[in-house]
A and B are shown apart, each in its own frame.
Chain A
């Protein structure tokens, strides 16, 4: 399920961005990369590489997004073990004074409650320590998003993003700049969170300033990774893996990644109309072409038989990612399974709502009612309680 592409970065085009937060930091970004190889199902990269070597402009070897992202997952998983050993040796970072730190976490919670009410309610299902940590991560992601997409975004230069990146590095080294940085710094000192997903998210923001369309699913996958998959990777160390789980760390991270991707795909499928009215199409162009549709059909916004078929395929793929993610949730710490499962169930219902709207995501908003949302909670609780971690290693994902 991988394709080989050549990355040709074309920075000349910039366009106004708009974003929406879905799961807590699933921000819409635009990545522009034109690929000269189309969607291919061949796993071997070598043959494809030879055929595109002539048009190779950027020197890194062409690999699919999924492979690149999986590398990040492996690295993160490897770091978890390393971090545990390292933390015993390293001196603790200079913290914010105790009561100020608590106040900082309180403020993180307030910001989260203000901007993401359902998500905030979801965090209430977690243990207090984890809740605070997730809030701190949320606030960092939100602030980064507001830098490039908020009301004052027109004053942000690439230098500003560099400075923001430097602040990120500093806070990981125990030198936070302000109180919200201090909360995140405390979180990363208590949980083995890696810096790479944060950097990737900033990179996604940087790239987002020059984007328009996605040629194939590979590009879309990378985009979804940058804005939503990173969030999954950030939160797994906080949620914790069950000690009696036999599944590999990498597979749990992959599942978290899948959940992020699934959430972002759901977001995209729900907001097709809204995005198209802003001139943005987040659907892979080649798949649209295969279904006999074009960009103009999307921008026009008419629901036809072809559109329904196309949407059915897209929804099936999103559901597949949800299923992949669900397997990994049972490997998490027992206290964390309920909130994560609840959010998965809630978000998956949006896909059902799209189907119920007869695939009209142009004018109708796929909405899950409060009653349905509340009903998912006991269901998630029951599932979290009954299903436990897998007893056999390697039963999760085959990659």
Chain B
């Protein structure tokens, strides 16, 4: 059964048809990440080895040729005018099978990463005694401007502070201020006198205290919410890729975002012949396959300034 599974997977994994013009069918599967123990039955295929220490990825083939020329058929993460042609010869069913098998692999690989991380945590705790800071945990940025990053502990502090402030203000406004006869006007002048002195419309002095406090509270809440939202947007924007503004795509220059371009061969500029001009035909843009947009090479279609494996790749149809 393992052998059958292996052959099925191998069959699913031969996607890369040779470039047009070459008649020989070579099975050159792409991007098989080295799996530790999950698929030992899989024959060693072209492997993509990530070496984080060096910061670059080598395309190495374990088989026949390991010359630099083999890099040409290796997977290349950024797009060029001929990228999308790589898969054009595959049949629909084949494409669906490929997509499904790759998504399966991603699913299983994420599980492997999780298990490895557990081991990593255990081993590093053994070595270094105290638990090292796990910097994979996302830092919760605060939505209140000027506040440092939040953790559950500081959240409690925030609750305490906020409640005591609110209580204090209620006590002050309701009990202390009338006792102290705190007035708006300087030198103890009344509110009405103050309004008159400032030459403001007189109906301001007739405002009912309940209405006044309600309005004041409402204004406070509204402006606070507005500030919070603005701060939040700013935070999210920082994470956005600046080149594509978070869309993951850039306008295709070949077709000027229309998806089609004029076929130049059909336009002839006669030097003297009197034949009628052929109407120019449009054909689907080869750069972007008709979508009008191409991959942003900085964020690799994730839209985030720092792309990780968790960030989904945005489809161009959205």
Q: Interface on A for B, CB 8 Å cutoff?
A: 14-17, 94, 96-97, 100, 103-104, 107, 110-111, 114-115, 143, 146-147, 150-160, 162-164, 166-167, 170, 175-182, 185, 209
Contacts and interface: CB of A to CB of B under 8 A. Distances in A.
Interface stretch (B17-25, B50-58, B116-124, B209-217): B50-58
B59 interface: yes
Given A177-B287, A177-B294, 6 more contacts: A16-B53, A96-B251, A151-B307, A155-B77, A157-B58, A164-B297
Contact of A143 (B50, B243, B253, B256): B243
B298 interface: yes
A155 to B, nearest CB: 5
A153 B80 contact: no
B233 interface: no
Contacts of B297: 143, 147, 164
28 contacts: A14-B56, A103-B251, A104-B251, A110-B242, A114-B242, A115-B242, A143-B298, A150-B298, A151-B307, A152-B77, A152-B300, A154-B56, A156-B56, A157-B76, A157-B77, A158-B68, A159-B59, A159-B76, A160-B76, A160-B78, A162-B71, A163-B76, A164-B78, A177-B252, A177-B253, A177-B254, A178-B250, A179-B250
A208 to B, nearest CB: 10
B294 A152 contact: no
B305 interface: yes
Interface string B282-297: 0000010000001011
A154 B306 CA distance: 12
A143 to B, nearest CB: 6
A152 B307 contact: yes
B55 A96 contact: no
B79 interface: yes
B13 interface: no
B300 A97 contact: no
A24 to B, nearest CB: 15
Contacts of A110: 242
Most B Cβ at <10 Å: residue of A15, A147, A150, A155: A155
B77 A160 contact: yes
Query: 3 smallest A-B Cβ distances: which pairs?
Result: A182-B253, A178-B250, A176-B253
B71 A175 contact: no
A154 B50 contact: yes
Given A114-B242, A170-B81, A209 B56 contact: yes
Contacts of A179: 250-253
A156 B307 CA distance: 13
Interface of B: 50, 52-59, 68, 71-72, 74-81, 242-243, 250-254, 256-257, 287, 294, 296-300, 305-307
- Secondary structure of the B side of the interface? loop
B256 A155 contact: no
A106 to B, nearest CB: 12
Contacts of A178: 250-253, 294, 296
Contacts of A181: 253
A21 to B, nearest CB: 14
Contacts of A157: 56-59, 71, 74-77
Contacts of B71: 157-159, 162
A251 to B, nearest CB: 36
Given A104-B251, A175-B81, A180 B256 contact: no
A155 B252 CA distance: 23
A205 to B, nearest CB: 11
A175 B254 contact: yes
Contacts of B81: 166-167, 170, 175, 177
A14 B256 contact: no
B306 A151 contact: yes
Contacts of A147: 78, 297-298
Contacts of B78: 147, 156, 160, 163-164
Contacts of A182: 251, 253
A233 to B, nearest CB: 24
A111 B243 contact: yes
A225 B257 CA distance: 37
Most B Cβ at <10 Å: residue of A111, A147, A152, A178: A178
A5 to B, nearest CB: 25
